[in-house]
Amino acid sequence: MAEHWRLAIGCGALASLGAAVVGAVVWGLFGAAHAGAFGYGAGVGVLSLVSVAGTVSLLAGRSLRARALGVGSFPARYLCVAAALGLPAYLEVWPVLPMAAGVSGVYLVENLVLVPGLMLAGGRRGRRKGVLERRVAA
């Protein structure tokens, strides 16, 4: 399994665990409807987070067609999230604030865990391949 898939799935599992804990607190404070909306938003966020690995795989592809699909999949992810959140909000199926809090919490976890993990993984990969790095003092 590629490093970016391992990081995305691990980060998704961490976000899911955190969402389950926060969802239980939301259930206790505000009731089942708000907890369901929070869980739905977090689920949409986790799916978007794990799909990042697919985008990276496409962008790192050897063919021009795969890279073009990767470029197109990046904005498509955000359009899917907007539709997945906007449609229930428009139809008033779920309370909007907990739903938005769920997806926002997952994006926060993504930026706090996944991005530094990718940076560390890139550094490990560079050392394994014998790439020398030169640092210049500013």
For the stretch 85-96, pLDDT in tens is: 999 999 988 899
What is the number of H-type helices and E-type strands within the chain?
Answer: 5, 0
> Residue 25's pLDDT is what?
96
* pTM value > 0.85: no
pLDDT band for position 17 (cuts 50, 70, 90):
very high
More confident residue, 108 or 124: 108
Q: How far is CA 137 from CA 41, 49, 104, 134, in A?
A: 44, 36, 37, 10
Tens of pLDDT along 24-50? Answer: 999 999 999 999 999 999 999 999 988
> Residue 104's pLDDT is what?
93
With 0-12 / 13-18 / 19 or more C-beta atoms within 10 angstroms meaning exposed / middle / buried, residue 79 is exposed
Q: Average pLDDT of 63-90?
A: 90
> Residue 137's pLDDT is what?
66
